[in-house]
Amino acid sequence: MLYSGKTKTFCKGLCILGSKPMMAFFSMIFFNTPAIINMARAIPNFVERGLTIYLAVLMGILMFLTNLFSFMTAFSNPGIVGQLQNSLRMRTISNLSETREMDNYHLTVRGAYLSKIKFCVTCFVYRPPRTVHCNFCDNCVYGFDHHCKWLGTCVGALNYKKFIWFLIFLNTLEICNFALAISHIVLVAMDEPGRTFG
Ligand SMILES: [Zn+2]
Ligand SMILES: [Zn+2]
């Protein structure tokens, strides 16, 4: 299958970069930094007091899973519908202008209306049902949910589950971060009541 638009494909379609792949790396820095600061400051404080080492293990696992699923969401195929090569486009344009078949179709089975099939004038393909053209990536995406600016790619039928897992792990990681930071502040305050934090 041929992809074009603003996406780039590698390894025979196994790795696909969205319109702004660097955004995924910036997002990873953004959500990893608080976790790394916590790992460096709060967890040694907890371990020193003999509280538990499992917190460090839990944070490590959560960080790994959050990064893994953000990577898998950002660099996998969201469900891009292949576009025509430039040479075929010209032929398609002339064929369609002759036959005037650029109109939308209604998909029916035994007379029962199922869905409307639209023609994408940018990709030059008839879109399957539930397919939307993403203006950021310049591609039609099957099962399009939204274009995620944080990951720089579309969320569609093929990476939707990965995106949901990414959100679950990211939220759990941030809740743990918040709880650790608050606990760290309370523990230090209990040790040195007059101390300010920095
Ligand atoms: Zn399109
Ligand atoms: Zn997109």
Listed residues: CB within 5 A of ion ligand 1:
120, 122-123, 133, 140
Name the β-bridge partners of 131: 142
> What pLDDT shows up at residue 117?
76
What is the pLDDT of the chain when averaged over all its residues? 80
> What pLDDT shows up at residue 96?
64
Contacts 24+ apart (CB under 8 A), 122-129: 123/5, 123/81, 123/83, 123/84, 124/83, 124/84, 124/88, 124/89, 124/92, 124/93, 125/81, 125/82, 125/83, 125/84, 127/81, 128/81
CA 191 to chain centre: 43
pLDDT tens readout for residues 127-155? 888 899 999 988 899 999 999 999 989 99
Prediction pTM value:
0.77
- Ligand positioned closest to the Cα atom of 7: 2
Whole-number Å distance, alpha carbon 5 to ligand 1 midpoint, is 9
pLDDT tens readout for residues 41-97? 877 777 777 666 777 788 889 999 999 999 999 998 898 887 766 666 666 666 666
pLDDT(101) > 90:
no
- Check if 134 is active-site: no
CA distance 78 to 181: 36
Catalytic residue among 15, 148, 154, 176: 148
pLDDT(159) > 90:
yes
Angle at 148 between CA 143 and CA 152, to 5 degrees: 115
Instruction: Write phi, then psi, for 186 (nearest 5 degrees).
Output: -65, -45
CA distances to 27, 70, 141, 185 from 181, in Å: 21, 24, 41, 6
